[in-house]
Structure 1
Amino acid sequence: MSGSNVWSRSRERMRLFPELFAQCAGEAAVYGKCVTATTTGRQELQKDLCVKEFQALKSCFANAAKKKAK
């Protein structure tokens, strides 16, 4: 495996990111609202406060990437 192939695959995945993100806009919005709601004022985001929303976004990205790979 040459180094150039690794970078080529990485660049290709990064080029797909906006398209995948667009497919998961709803999940991203819900996660963003959760993060915003839990960090009002000077409160810091704590681990696992938005885990359900994050898992939904992660699952959406994975599904969108699988569809794109086909």
Structure 2
Amino acid sequence: MSGSNVWTRTREKLRLFPEIFAQCGSEAAAYGKCVSATTTGGQELKKDLCAKEFQALKTCFTNAAKKRAK
């Protein structure tokens, strides 16, 4: 079992990240705004406060990656 294939695939995925991320700008902005709004005043981010926004971002990433793979 060779570990080089794992690193090669990982590097390729990381190279594609900016392109995929660019397709999800509005979702990323919405998630960032939610995180920022819920952590004002030094508050800690609590689980599931921005779950809806995170799920939208995750779905966008997944869909963009699938489109890229085709």
User: Which residue is equivalent to 1:41?
Assistant: 41
Superposition pairs for residues 1-70 of structure 1, below 5 Å?
1-70=1-70
1:2 CA drift (Å): 1.9
Query: Equivalents in 1 of 2:12, 2:47: separation in Å?
Result: 31
Count of aligned positions: 70
Identical amino acids, percent of aligned pairs = 79
1:3 CA drift (Å): 1.1
Task: Kindly provide the amino acid, as one letter, of the partner of residue 20 in structure 1.
Answer: I
TM-score (norm 2): 0.97
> CA RMSD of the aligned region, Å?
0.7
Would you identify which runs of 4 or more consecutive aligned residues in structure 1 move more than 6 Å? none
1:42 CA drift (Å): 1.4
Gap runs ≥5 in structure 1: none
Task: Kindly provide the amino acid, as one letter, of the partner of residue 60 in structure 1.
Answer: C
